[in-house]
Amino acid sequence: MKHPDVIVVGAGIVGAACAAELQALGRDVLLVDGGVPGGGVTAAGMGHLVALDETDDELDLCLLSLARWDAYLSTRTDLAEHVRCGTLWVAEDDAQMAHARVRAQRLGRRGWDAVELSGDALARMEPALRAGLAGAVRVVRDGVVYPPAVARDLADTLVALGGQTRFGTAVARIDDGAITLASGERIAAGDVVAAAGTAVTRLLPDIPVFPRKGHLAITARTPRRLSHQVVSMGYGQTAAGSDALAVAANVQPRITGQWLIGSCRQDGIRHADVDPRVLAQVLRSAIALLPCLADMKIIRSWTGMRPATYDGRPVIGRHPALPHVWVAAGHEGLGVTTAFGTAQLLADLMLDRPASIAAIPYSPSRFAHVPA
C-alpha cells in the first residue's frame, strides 16, 4: 500500500469533516475508525446547528462553520435530514431576557439574524410553550441535522475524491507520523490527525479530553407542532449542583415528527447507562417549558459522552511535542456545528496558509506539555 499523506484517526463528524477537507485540498488521506463512521458521540447527540457566543472565538468558529454547513446542505438537504427550524432561546424571567437580548445583539452584529420576541409574540409563534414566559430570542438561520448520516456521507465523499478508509479497525497507538493498529500493523504517513473524540487522551496522554455525560429521550411521532428548536436561556449557564448535574431544557423537532429531548451535563461519570433519576430531571425541565410533553410517549432514551476540555474550547492544531501529529477533538456539545470550521482551520494550519480565524485559542499547546 502506498503511504497516505495524512491518516485521520476517528470518523466522527469532526474526523470525517477533516478527512474530506484535506483530501479535497489535494492530500492523500486515510480515514481509520475502530467502529463505523458517525458511530461514536456523533450518533448520540442532538444535531443542533447553533451559533453560540459565550466567547468571541466560539462565535468565530461557529459562524465560519455554519457558512460551510450552508454550502454543504445546499447540495444534500435530504440526506442530512436538515431543517432550518431556527432556535428559540426562551427566557423564563427578566434576568434571562436581558441575557437573551445581549445574545440577539451579538449575533445580529455578525449578520446571524436574531430577533427579540415579547412573551405574547412568543406564545403566538410557538403555542406549545407554557404560558407566562418572559420572551425569547429567535435565531432564524440555526437548524437541525442528523449527524451520523453526515459523517457517513463525508466518509463516502472522501472515497469519491480518491481517499481511503479502514473501518472496524482500532488504532492502538499514535507516533510522530505513524499509527499502529490493534492488529499490530504499522502505517506511516506524512501527518496523523487525532480526531478520536473522548479517546484522544488514551492515544495522546498529554491532550486532556474527558467525558461529559448527557441524557436524551425521543418521543414517538406526534401530530403536535413544534416549529423551532426550543432551548432554555439557562442552557450552558446552569451551574452544576452539588451532585455535579446541570440540567436545562432543550427540545428539538425532527423531520419525522418526533421531539428529541435533552439534555444535561454530568462530569466524573464513566458508565453510559441511562440513570432514571437524571432522565427524570431532564424530562421535568422539558415539561416545565412544554407542558404537552407530559402526555406524549417516550420511545427511547440513551446517553452520550461529550468530549470536553477544561476551558470549554476544542483542541485544534499541532501537537506540542510531535510535529507530525495534529489534534481535532474536545468539541463538547458543539462538535456538529463546528465540524466544518474545525476542518477548515486545521487545513489552514497543516497547509501553512493564513488561518481563517484566530488559531491560538484552540492550540493544543495551551495544555502545558511536560516532556517525558
Partner 1 sequence: MSPPDLSSRVVVDGVAVDVPRGVTVVAALVAANSLCTRRSVTGQRRFAFCGIGQCQECRVTVDGCANQLACGTICADGMTIATGGDW
Ligand X SMILES: Cc1cc2nc3c(=O)[nH]c(=O)nc-3n(C[C@H](O)[C@H](O)[C@H](O)COP(=O)(O)OP(=O)(O)OC[C@H]3O[C@@H](n4cnc5c(N)ncnc54)[C@H](O)[C@@H]3O)c2cc1C
Closest of 222, 294, 301 to residue 259, by C-alpha:
222
C-alpha cell at position 203: 492515544
Going across the sheet that includes 191-194, the strands are 164-167, 29-33, 6-9, 191-194, 325-329, 315-318
Residue from 132, 168, 205, 223 touching partner 1 (CB under 8 A): that is 223
Among residues 168 and 223, whose Cβ is nearest to partner 1?
223
Q: Name the minimum Å distance from CB 296 to partner 1.
A: 8
Query: Are 325 and 350 within 8 A, CB to CB?
Result: no
Choose the contact partner of 342 out of ligand X, partner 1, none; CB within 5 to 8 A by kind.
Answer: none
Binding mask 254-293 for ligand X (x = CB under 6 A): --------xx------------------------------
Choose the contact partner of 29 out of partner 1, ligand X, none; CB within 5 to 8 A by kind.
Answer: none
Count of C-beta atoms within a 10 Å radius of residue 282 = 23
Q: Name the minimum Å distance from CB 347 to ligand X.
A: 16
Q: Counting contacts by CB under 6 A, is residue 107 touching ligand X? A: no
C-alpha cell at position 349: 494550519
Residue ranges of alpha helices (H) inside the chain are: 13-24, 41-44, 56-80, 94-109, 119-125, 147-160, 200-203, 276-289, 339-350
Number of residues that bind partner 1 (CB under 8 A): 9
Q: Name the minimum Å distance from CB 13 to ligand X.
A: 5
How many Å apart are CA 371 and CA 8, to the nearest integer? Answer: 24
Binding residues for partner 1 restricted to 290-309, rule: CB under 8 A: 297, 299-300
Q: Name the minimum Å distance from CB 108 to ligand X.
A: 21
Q: Name the minimum Å distance from CB 330 to ligand X.
A: 8
How many Å apart are CA 264 and CA 310, to the nearest integer? Answer: 17
* Matching residue, cell 455578525: 110
How many Å apart are CA 199 and CA 177, to the nearest integer? Answer: 19
C-alpha cell at position 260: 428529541
Q: Counting contacts by CB under 6 A, is residue 253 touching ligand X? A: no
Q: Name the minimum Å distance from CB 222 to partner 1.
A: 6
Residue from 329, 346, 347, 357 touching ligand X (CB under 6 A): that is 329
The interface region with ligand X, picked from 105-113, 125-133, 134-142, 328-336 by CB under 6 A, is 328-336
Q: Counting contacts by CB under 6 A, is residue 44 touching ligand X? A: yes
Among residues 177 and 257, whose Cβ is nearest to partner 1?
257
Choose the contact partner of 257 out of partner 1, ligand X, none; CB within 5 to 8 A by kind.
Answer: partner 1
Residue from 190, 257, 312, 361 touching partner 1 (CB under 8 A): that is 257
Q: Name the minimum Å distance from CB 297 to partner 1.
A: 5
C-alpha cell at position 174: 499514535
Q: Name the minimum Å distance from CB 120 to ligand X.
A: 28
Count of C-beta atoms within a 10 Å radius of residue 290 = 21
Residue from 8, 19, 32, 66 touching ligand X (CB under 6 A): that is 32
* Matching residue, cell 495551551: 366
Q: Which residues have C-beta within 8 Å of that of residue 23, sequence separation ≥ 6? A: 29, 158, 161, 162, 163
Choose the contact partner of 220 out of ligand X, partner 1, none; CB within 5 to 8 A by kind.
Answer: partner 1
Binding mask 173-212 for ligand X (x = CB under 6 A): ----------------------xxx-x---x---------
3-state DSSP of 198-229: HHHHHHCCCCCCEEEEEEEEEECCCCCCCCCE
Residue ranges of alpha helices (H) inside 267-332 are: 276-289
Question: Under the rule (CB under 6 A), what is the footprint of ligand X?
Answer: 9-15, 32-35, 39-42, 44-48, 170-171, 195-197, 199, 203, 214, 216, 262-263, 304, 306-307, 329, 331-337
